[in-house]
C-alpha cells in the first residue's frame, strides 16, 4: 500500500506527521520527496547504506548534421527545444527527458548528455524500517526526476509512506502518482483551509482516495470542519498544538517517544488508513 502525506503549504506539520507515523508502524518504508528542502532525516537516525546519483538526459544537437527543419521543436510539448534558422536552442530546465526529439529528427542530429540533478540517500533506520530522501542539486529547478527515481527504487515495498512536497506543483503530482491513499495535513485557519482546498481539487482530479488530519486544531476556527462535512471528506484525526511538542521537535526528537497523546493519535490514523493491513 502506498500512502502520500501532503499539505497545501509548508509549516502545517506534514513532516511531523510523516516521521512519527512511520516510526510508529512496525514495518514500513518512508521516502521524503520534498527534495528542495528535505528535513525528515533530521528526525530519523540510522545507517547510510547507499548514496546514488540521479541523472537526467538532455538533448545535444550536432550543428554539422542539423538542417534546421524544425521537427524536433514541433514535437516537443514543453518548448524545451526550439530550432531557429541558424541554431537549435535547448532549454535544459524545461526538458522532461522523454527522448522524443531524437526519434523524430530525420538527420540523426540529436544525442543525449547526462547531468546529475541530485542524489538519493538510503538510510536503514532499523531491521524493518527503511528511509530514503532525495536532495536536488543547487541550481536545478525541478525535483520531479529525483521523485520518480525514489519511487522507482521503492516500487516493491509493501507499505510505503511518501512525504510529499507542499503545494500542488508538478513535484506533488509526481509524489502522489500511483498512491492508494493520501493524507492531507491541514490547519484550521482561513489560509490553511484555502490551501487545503487546492490539494482537495488536485486529489479529486487525480482520482485519489484521501482524508484529512487537522493539525494545531486548538488554533483557528471551525470553518474547516464545516467544509469537510459539506464535501463528505473524512476527518481522520485532530491534533492539538502544544508548545512542548514544538520544543521536542526542535531538538530533533520524535513526538511518539515523548507523548502518549501523540502516540494514540498515530495509532488512530494508522488504524483508519490501513484498515485490515493494520496489525499492531
**Which residues are near ligand SF4 by CB under 6 A?**
59, 61, 66-72, 75-76, 78, 80-81, 83, 88, 95-101, 105, 107, 109-110
Facing residues of 237 across strands? 213
- Shortest Å, Cβ 79 to ligand SF4: 8
Helix (H) or strand (E) holding 162: strand 160-163
- Shortest Å, Cβ 78 to ligand SF4: 5
Closer CB to ligand SF4, residue 113 or residue 219? 113
- Shortest Å, Cβ 80 to ligand SF4: 4
Contact indicator for 20, 28 with CB cutoff of 8 Å: no
Closer CB to ligand SF4, residue 104 or residue 274? 104
Closer CB to ligand SF4, residue 39 or residue 108? 108
- Shortest Å, Cβ 84 to ligand SF4: 9
Closer CB to ligand SF4, residue 144 or residue 224? 144
C-alpha cell read off for 104? 523524430
Closer CB to ligand SF4, residue 99 or residue 275? 99
Sign of CA dihedral 205, 211, 216, 221: positive
- Shortest Å, Cβ 111 to ligand SF4: 10
What CA–CA distance (Å, rounded) separates 269 from 236?
6
Closest of 171, 235, 168 to residue 204, by C-alpha: 168
What CA–CA distance (Å, rounded) separates 79 from 82?
6
Amino acid at each position: 500500500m502506498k500512502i502520500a502525506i501532503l499539505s497545501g503549504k509548508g509549516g502545517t506539520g506534514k513532516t511531523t506527521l510523516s516521521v512519527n507515523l512511520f516510526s510508529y508502524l512496525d514495518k514500513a518504508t518512508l521516502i521524503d520527496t520534498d527534495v528542495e528542502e528535505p528535513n525528515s532525516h533530521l528526525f530519523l537516525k540510522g545507517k547510510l547504506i547507499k548514496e546514488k546519483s540521479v541523472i537526467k538526459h538532455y538533448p545535444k544537437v550536432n550543428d554539422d548534421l542539423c538542417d534546421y527543419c524544425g521537427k524536433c521543436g514541433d514535437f516537443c510539448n514543453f518548448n524545451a527545444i526550439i530550432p531557429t534558422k541558424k541554431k537549435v536552442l535547448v532549454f535544459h530546465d524545461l526538458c522532461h527527458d522523454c527522448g522524443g526529439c531524437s526519434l523524430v529528427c530525420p538527420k540523426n542530429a540529436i544525442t543525449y548528455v547526462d547531468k546529475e540533478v541530485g542524489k538519493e540517500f538510503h538510510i536503514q533506520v532499523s531491521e524493518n524500517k527503511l528511509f530514503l530522501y532525495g536532495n536536488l542539486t543547487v541550481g536545478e529547478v525541478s525535483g520531479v526526476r529525483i521523485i520518480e527515481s525514489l519511487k522507482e527504487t521503492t516500487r516493491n515495498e509493501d507499505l510505503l509512506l511518501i512525504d510529499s512536497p507542499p503545494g500542488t506543483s508538478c513535484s506533488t503530482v509526481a509524489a502522489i502518482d500511483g498512491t492508494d491513499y493520501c493524507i492531507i495535513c491541514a490547519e484550521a485557519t482561513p489560509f490553511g483551509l484555502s490551501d487545503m482546498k487546492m490539494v482537495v481539487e488536485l486529489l479529486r482530479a487525480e482520482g485519489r482516495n484521501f482524508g484529512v488530519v487537522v493539525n494545531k486544531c486548538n488554533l483557528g476556527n471551525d470553518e474547516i470542519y464545516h467544509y469537510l462535512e459539506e464535501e463528505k471528506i473524512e476527518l481522520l484525526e485532530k491534533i492539538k498544538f502544544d508548545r512542548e511538542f514544538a520544543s521536542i521537535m526542535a531538538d530533533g526528537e520524535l513526538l511518539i517517544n515523548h507523548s502518549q497523546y501523540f502516540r494514540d493519535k498515530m495509532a488512530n490514523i494508522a488504524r483508519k488508513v490501513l484498515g485490515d493491513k493494520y496489525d499492531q
